[in-house]
Amino acid sequence: MKASQSLIITGMHRSHTSLVAHAFHEAGLFLGDDLIDAAPSNPYGHFESRQIVDFHLDVIRKEGLRNRWTFIKKEGAISASMTSAFASVAKEILCNHFDRTLFGWKDPRMPFFLNGWDSILTDAKYIFVVRHPMSCVASLDKRTLKHSKSIWHPFLSTRHFNLWDVTNECILEFVEAHPDRCVVIHAPDQLLESESAQRLNEIVKTEWGMPLQNIAFDKVIDNSLLKAKPHNSKLEKIYKRRSKTQDLYDALIKKSQAYLM
């Protein structure tokens, strides 16, 4: 396998990770040879490798989960162990679909597989995207209700808040363990700041030495999709009771400021 540099983009579902991946794709980062198509909830594309997503979903199913939204066990997040079988399939995917000198991928499920993949891609770099918990949950609630044609219930939002928590706990733990190989981006704020984009380019192209063109979020942003919507009062009540979620969000914001300011 010829690849020597890899860059992984991830974050909680509905955190604008597709927008970030789109910008890196335009800058020349190879994200896979079979990308998942666009959808009404992601009109410009997911920029996700079908092989990576299918692999992660297969592992999640084998963990005995009921569906792709349930990442909660008694002791927290699912974190697939790097078994020989897992490693074998992962290496096969890399050889068959990512045989490049510079490659990467984007998948919101990736936080649950960070340690596993990092044991193979030992010098990989990571872009983590964090968005306000209520914005993520509101978007997930809307999409779920549209697909299921059901009525909102507090349990739905609570489940999505739980998913936000365990996803970002995995991210924060990894960032603290590997600070020199990670960047945390606060979306959408830092996606709209020229200073943050300039600093990101400096890190990726100069400090990490990746031969990419200029990473320009302003070239791929659709402002109509970034407009802040007022949060549902019922959602706010749930959020105000979740001190753990608030503390985790604050910790990640501080990380993003440390990297891009």
- pLDDT band (50, 70, 90) for residue 228: low
Question: What's the angle, vertex CA 142, arms to CA 136 and CA 145, rounded to 5?
Answer: 135
pLDDT in tens, 142-167: 998 988 878 888 999 999 999 999 89
User: Does 65 have pLDDT greater than 60?
Assistant: no
d(C-alpha 174, C-alpha 189), whole Å: 23
pLDDT in tens, 171-185: 999 999 999 999 999
Q: In the chain, what are the domain boundaries? A: 5-260
State residue 227's pLDDT score: 66
- pLDDT band (50, 70, 90) for residue 63: low
Nearest Cα residue to 126 out of 68, 70, 210: 210
d(C-alpha 192, C-alpha 201), whole Å: 14
pLDDT in tens, 69-109: 444 443 344 445 557 778 899 999 999 999 999 999 999 99
CATH number corresponding to 5-260:
3.40.50.300
**Average pLDDT, rounded, for the chain:** 89
